[in-house]
Amino acid sequence: MQLQHWKLEREGDGLAWAILDTANSSTNTLGAAVMNELGLILDECEKSPPKGLIFKSAKEAGFIAGANIEEFVSADTPEKARVLIQRGWDTYNRLAAVSYPTLALVRGHCMGGGTELALACRYRIAVDEPGTKFALPEVMLGIVPGWGGMLRLPQLVGPAAALDMMLTGKNIDAKRAKKMGLADECVPPRVMDNAARMLVLSGKPPREERLPFMQKLMNGPLKGMVASGARKQVAKRARQEHYPAPYAIIDQWQNHGGNTLAVPADRPTSLDALVRHSTTRNLIRVFFLQDRLKGFGKDARDFAPRHVHAVGAGVMGGDVAAWCVLRGMTVTLQDQNIERIAPAIGRAAKFFEKKLRDKKLARFALDRLIADPKGDGVRQADVIIEAIFENLEAKQALFADIEARAKPDAVLASNTSSLKLSDIAAKFKDPSRLVGIHFFNPVAMMPLVEVVASAATAPEVAQRAAAFVRRIDKLPLPVKDAPGFLVNAVLAPYMNEAMRCVDEGIAPETIDAAMVAFGMPMGPI
């Protein structure tokens, strides 16, 4: 059997491995050709059933990144979308029904259709690495998990955890996946293959059969109550006319067995309605724009910062420092004295406990956040970020000291939001070294970071700054040194017009209500 994207390898004891290596791609995606070949593998295994079938990725990048989004975009009519959904729904139902045991060995990202493939297997093993993440992020594209995720995830982990995962699109790490029941085991890389062999041949009952009684009730007689509670929670965050996908997920789980194809076309929660909705088109557009932003900084791949020095332990500086630590950096945090730094370290400790959910890991993270009132970290830092108050003379004086002590190849960055970068750089001996790295508040929630280049900023400095932003899992947006940069330049006219409406006698409450009805998350006043 000749396959372009898969390899089917059989061992002497009857065990088989289905290894995915999507051709001409750095990541595995589930396009039409890949899914068709999966069907051929199931055909082959039907003719000669293995003792067990293990799904594994040949890519270093991860397990499966999900469906091929470009194919979904090309399915620009409900009829075409139905064909795409039907293909995955039928293939995964067939996989779930095979007589031999199946297992998904997940190392690295496992998104969307990849998670749905894992759910269609009898067992799942999560490899205990930082990059291992499960998610059903379809809601973030304005669509729903159409290949069985809405059916199988609630049966596996219970409806409350399943709906939370599907309605937010959030990532679940390996340890969390094991704890919630999404993964049967969480193992280190060195034993993953042997662990997979042992589990798939173990004869152990699948997790669904061992779901607690109360969870079974919530999937059955209490389903309406669970759905009602979920709708109330979603309504606090999003209006159905603007974001129909979360409501569609709840409806399709409650009333249609998680089968999006079963919803009548005239319903607002149907596949037809979602495909036609402007929000879906715009969210997919945002997805591709984010993908473009991820490409910035690739020209500085050899830049691997490990030590960040942050100056200014206020809300912004302290939170930037904490985020960098969370992403694996060592950070020295400078302010005028230890008393000013202490509150930032206290906030960081709570932040690490919340994000890491492991006291030992949180302690290790806190060990990498070092109070540095004298600024000794400047000499060793790869990236130095200034986040002090918006005063030109103060910033110029600070950078005069930093420039004299920093490594020649260190990135010198200002987090300014209101001052021109060229004015700050005016006192530099070498103005080409200064770049803007402008975070937004709250740092942990806002993915966008403006990378500001003045006329004097060296291109390689801006590239290294963008590479740093990607290294800490943010999206770098290159902008010019203009008033407001980009985001605030867009926001300012909106806010000015709102105030003009108030001056004209319109009540602030009316303005806010109108903008929320339009689709803004909150009013401008």
Cα dihedral sign for 38, 40, 43, 49?
negative
Please identify which residue in the block is written with the tokens 């075409």: 80
Q: Is 385 helix (H, G, I), strand (E, B) or coil?
A: strand
- The number of helices, as runs of H, and strands, as runs of E, in the chain is 21, 18
**C-alpha distance across the termini of the chain, in Å:** 65
Indicate whether 294 belongs to any domain. Answer: no
DSSP states of 58-115 as a string?
--SSEEE--B-HHHHHH--SHHHHHHHHHHHHHHHHHHHT-SS-EEEEE-SEEETHHH
Give residue 302's pLDDT. Answer: 85
Range(s) of the domain holding residue 508? 488-518
Q: Are residues 146 and 60 in the same domain?
A: yes
Indicate whether 62 belongs to any domain. Answer: yes
Indicate whether 523 belongs to any domain. Answer: no
Cα dihedral sign for 159, 163, 169, 173?
negative
Q: Are residues 35 and 105 in the same domain?
A: yes
Of the candidates 260, 286, 312, which is a domain's last residue?
A: 286
**Cα(430)–Cα(453) distance, rounded to whole angstroms?**
14
**Cα(260)–Cα(166) distance, rounded to whole angstroms?**
14
Indicate whether 292 belongs to any domain. Answer: no
Output the tens digit of pLDDT for each of the chain's 525 residues: 789 999 999 999 999 999 999 999 999 999 999 999 999 999 999 999 999 999 999 998 899 999 999 898 888 788 999 999 999 999 999 999 999 999 999 999 999 999 999 999 999 999 999 899 999 999 999 999 999 999 999 999 999 999 999 999 999 999 999 999 999 999 999 999 999 999 999 999 998 888 888 888 999 999 999 999 999 999 998 999 999 999 999 999 999 999 999 999 999 999 999 999 999 999 999 999 999 999 998 888 789 999 999 999 999 999 999 999 999 999 999 999 999 999 999 999 999 999 998 899 999 999 999 999 999 999 999 999 999 999 999 999 999 999 999 999 999 999 999 999 999 999 999 999 999 999 999 999 999 999 999 999 999 999 999 999 999 999 999 999 998 999 999 999 999 999 999 999 999 999 999 999 998 989 999
Indicate whether 473 belongs to any domain. Answer: yes
Q: Are residues 513 and 374 in the same domain?
A: no
Q: Are residues 165 and 225 in the same domain?
A: yes
DSSP states of 209-251 as a string?
GG--HHHHHHHTTTHHHHHHHHHHHHHHH--TTT-HHHHHHHH
Q: What are phi and psi of 339, to 5 degrees?
A: -65, -30
CB 269 within 8 A of CB 244: yes
> What are residue 330's DSSP bridge partners?
307
Of the candidates 253, 286, 319, which is a domain's last residue?
A: 286
CB 90 within 8 A of CB 120: no
CB 157 within 8 A of CB 206: no
CB 156 within 8 A of CB 181: yes
Beta strands in 141-201 (DSSP E): 172-173, 185-187
Tokens of 198: 């042992």
Please identify which residue in the block is written with the tokens 């902008």: 479
Q: What are phi and psi of 371, to 5 degrees?
A: -65, 130
Q: Is 30 helix (H, G, I), strand (E, B) or coil?
A: strand
Q: Is 486 helix (H, G, I), strand (E, B) or coil?
A: coil
Q: Are residues 27 and 118 in the same domain?
A: yes
Q: Are residues 452 and 436 in the same domain?
A: yes
Report how far apart, in Å, the C-alpha atoms of 55 and of each of 157, 187, 431 are.
Answer: 21, 16, 54
> What is the domain-level CATH number for residue 360?
3.40.50.720
Q: Are residues 72 and 128 in the same domain?
A: yes
Give residue 207's pLDDT. Answer: 86
Residue 121 has what DSSP assignment?
S
Indicate whether 295 belongs to any domain. Answer: no
AA identity, residue 387: A
CB 335 within 8 A of CB 373: yes
**Cα(100)–Cα(102) distance, rounded to whole angstroms?**
7
Contact partners, residue 408, CB within 8 Å, separation at least 6: none
> What is the domain-level CATH number for residue 182?
3.90.226.10
Indicate whether 15 belongs to any domain. Answer: yes
CB 174 within 8 A of CB 135: no
Give residue 358's pLDDT. Answer: 87
Give residue 258's pLDDT. Answer: 96
CB 29 within 8 A of CB 68: yes
Give residue 301's pLDDT. Answer: 76
Give residue 314's pLDDT. Answer: 96
**Cα(38)–Cα(8) distance, rounded to whole angstroms?**
10
Indicate whether 525 belongs to any domain. Answer: no
Of the candidates 286, 310, 328, which is a domain's last residue?
A: 286
AA identity, residue 245: A
Q: Are residues 225 and 76 in the same domain?
A: yes
Known catalytic residues are 438
Radius of gyration of the chain (CA): 26
Q: Is 8 helix (H, G, I), strand (E, B) or coil?
A: strand
Q: Are residues 468 and 508 in the same domain?
A: no
Q: Are residues 465 and 502 in the same domain?
A: no
Tokens of 237: 């965050």
If we measure between CA atoms, which residue out of 145, 86, 85, 82 comes closest to residue 119?
145
Q: Are residues 99 and 202 in the same domain?
A: yes
Q: Are residues 32 and 135 in the same domain?
A: yes
Number of domains in the chain: 3
Please identify which residue in the block is written with the tokens 């594994």: 56
